């Protein structure tokens, strides 16, 4: 949620705190679903899983931002650094926080490479 509030100045119209909380909940759900789906596909948290998770979350973030821009759901302030048609901050948010959250929840033990049943 801290990231949502930190990037408020980068959006036009200054989103309110309920909007930021809702966005954080949506992001958490997306991260949880992507992590669970990739663990089911990969069956283990190896390097391919971590890079895959970052890639999937970056693609989802790009799609969300592009759709929001095309439908005028929100817009950016002049302070937002851009990557093509979307803002850099929201583009980095899902992959960085998603991988961080998954890594913090990963059981770092000698059996960390165990398979998921």
Domain of residue 44, residue span: 2-105
CB atoms within 10 A of CB 19: 15
- Tell me, what's the pLDDT at 110? 40
- Tell me, what's the pLDDT at 5? 83
What pTM, to 2 d.p., does this model score?
A: 0.84
pLDDT tens per residue, range 28-64: 999 999 998 998 888 777 888 899 999 999 999 999 9
Residue 86: name the closest of 54, 53, 60, 56 by CA: 60
Please tell me the total count of domains within the chain. Answer: 1
Token code pair at residue 30: 């997306």
**Which residues, at least 6 apart from 95, have a Cβ–Cβ distance to it below 8 Å?**
53, 54, 55, 57, 58, 61
- d(CA 16, CA 112) in angstroms, rounded, equals 40
- Tell me, what's the pLDDT at 111? 47
Residue 81 has pLDDT above 80, yes or no: yes
CB atoms within 10 A of CB 28: 14
């Amino acid at each position: 949620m801290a990231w949502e509030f930190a990037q408020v100045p980068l959006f036009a119209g200054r989103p309110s705190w309920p909007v930021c909380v809702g966005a954080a909940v949506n992001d958490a759900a997306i991260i949880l679903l992507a992590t669970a789906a990739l663990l089911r596909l990969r069956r283990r948290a190896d390097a391919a899983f971590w890079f895959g998770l970052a890639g999937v979350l970056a693609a989802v973030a790009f799609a969300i931002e592009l759709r929001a821009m095309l439908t005028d759901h929100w817009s950016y302030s002049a302070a937002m650094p851009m990557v093509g048609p979307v803002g850099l901050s929201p583009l980095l948010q899902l992959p960085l926080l998603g991988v961080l959250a998954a890594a913090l929840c990963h059981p770092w033990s000698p059996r960390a490479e165990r398979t998921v049943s």
